Amino acid sequence: MTGMKILGTGMYHPSNCVTNHDLSAMTETSDEWITKRTGIKTRYISTGESTWQMAVNASRQALSDSEIKAENLQAIISVTATPDYYYPNLSCIVSNQVGAVSPLTIDVNCACSGFIYGLDLAKRYLLDDDIQNVLIVCSELTSKITDYSDRLTCVLFADGAGALVLSKGNGLFSACLKSKADKIEALFSKTHAPKNPWTNNICDDGLFPNHTEPYIYMNGSDIYKFATNVAPSIINEACASLSLCPHDLNLIIPHQANFRIIEAISNKMNIPIEKFACNVQNYGNTCSASIPICLHEQIKAGRVKKGDKIGMVGFGAGLTYAACVLEII
């Protein structure tokens, strides 16, 4: 149950702000339609920044905020579902760019649940005597896998990065990580498959035979039901392991997928919506980066203070879901 101390946070988003009106010029939609169904008003879309560049910018800000030098990092955990390269991994690129010296580097891909998976991993590494400081950075360039002719998905997804520098701490921490892989077809994006030189055909592994394009496919109804069912239960589970209940939490930061989902979770848990941090209206769904971006903003706004117990919950492709409780020390 020994937790972690947040030494610093950072975030980054592209400069290109895309409004609902901008999207209505590209596909059959409107500001009213998007706002009513998602709560999203604006999002940031890259016009050239890569996943690694956004990750590096967020990481540098977190390091500056923490006053920890990059050479004093013993581990870098990068979280992304949209890497720029098959290899090297994003963590090695970040290490190279921020000037770290031989840290452990590992990448995590658990889609929109990835930050909490990475946070749990960081906590486990920090139990090692040899590891004092860990950088975790989530960076997502979802625009490169978004079909802007599909109004059901293109209005949701956006680009951005969030980062934390963590050290050992004696506060409370609990995490619960799960998956529901029998619903794997509800949300996916295939890699771009080149032609097989031996058959001269596009490689098709048969898992999603009706979808060959490398775009996000989502069954919105299934994802809504999944998220609104699992989020309350897994938050309860993470709290229960610390002999807490969700009402004991000072703040809950959910994955910023859709305001309707956040509102439904609030109603199911009978917890006022004011206790849920929400910035989806400004950033859209930035996948794994959404929770650390929101956490960064909440800390900088003074809404998070020492002694607070923060609940965080993510849900996404896989289907994966995860929740944690972190005491701010």
Please report, for the chain, the start and end positions of each structural domain, with discontinuous segments joined by +. 2-170, 175-184+214-327
Rounded CA-CA distance 328/171 in Å is 7
pLDDT at 189 over 50: yes
pLDDT of residue 1: 45
Which whole number is the average pLDDT over 111-125?
97
Contact between 186 and 223 (Cβ < 8 Å) = yes
What is the b/e burial string over 15-48, where b = at least 16 CB atoms within 10 angstroms of the residue's CB? Answer: eeebebeebbeeeebeeeebeebbbbbebbbbee
112 included as an active-site residue: yes
Rounded CA-CA distance 298/311 in Å is 13
Listed residue (58, 119, 110, 51) closest to 86, CA to CA = 51
Fold match flag (2-170 vs 175-184+214-327): yes
pLDDT of residue 192: 74
pLDDT of residue 209: 77
CA dihedral sign, ordered 127, 82, 150, 200? negative
What is the b/e burial string over 267-300, where b = at least 16 CB atoms within 10 angstroms of the residue's CB? Answer: eebebeeeebbbbbebbbbbbbbbbbbbbbbbbe
Instruction: Give me the catalytic one of 57, 89, 110, 255.
Output: 255
Give the confidence band of 206 by pLDDT, cuts at 50, 70, 90.
confident
Listed residue (229, 216, 225, 207) closest to 150, CA to CA = 216
Which whole number is the average pLDDT over 266-283?
98
Instruction: Give me the catalytic one of 285, 287, 296, 324.
Output: 285
324 included as an active-site residue: no
Q: Is the model's pTM score more than 0.85?
A: yes
Rounded CA-CA distance 111/187 in Å is 10
3-class DSSP assignment, residue 261: helix
Residue 75 pairs with which residues in a beta bridge? 104, 134
Instruction: Decide which of 3.30.70.20, 3.40.640.10, 3.40.47.10, 1.10.3720.10 is the CATH code for 175-184+214-327.
Output: 3.40.47.10
Instruction: Give me the catalytic one of 110, 112, 294, 324.
Output: 112
pLDDT of residue 35: 97
Which whole number is the average pLDDT over 242-261?
97
Which whole number is the average pLDDT over 287-298?
98
285 included as an active-site residue: yes
pLDDT of residue 200: 63
**Residues 2-32 pLDDT 10s:** 789 999 999 999 999 999 999 999 999 999 9
Q: Which fold has domain 2-170?
A: Peroxisomal Thiolase; Chain A, domain 1 (3.40.47)
Give the confidence band of 194 by pLDDT, cuts at 50, 70, 90.
low
pLDDT of residue 310: 98
Which whole number is the average pLDDT over 208-222?
89
104, exposed or middle or buried, with CB in 10 Å at 0-12, 13-18, 19+? middle
**Residues 146-162 pLDDT 10s:** 999 999 999 999 999 99
> Which one-letter DSSP state was computed for residue 276?
B
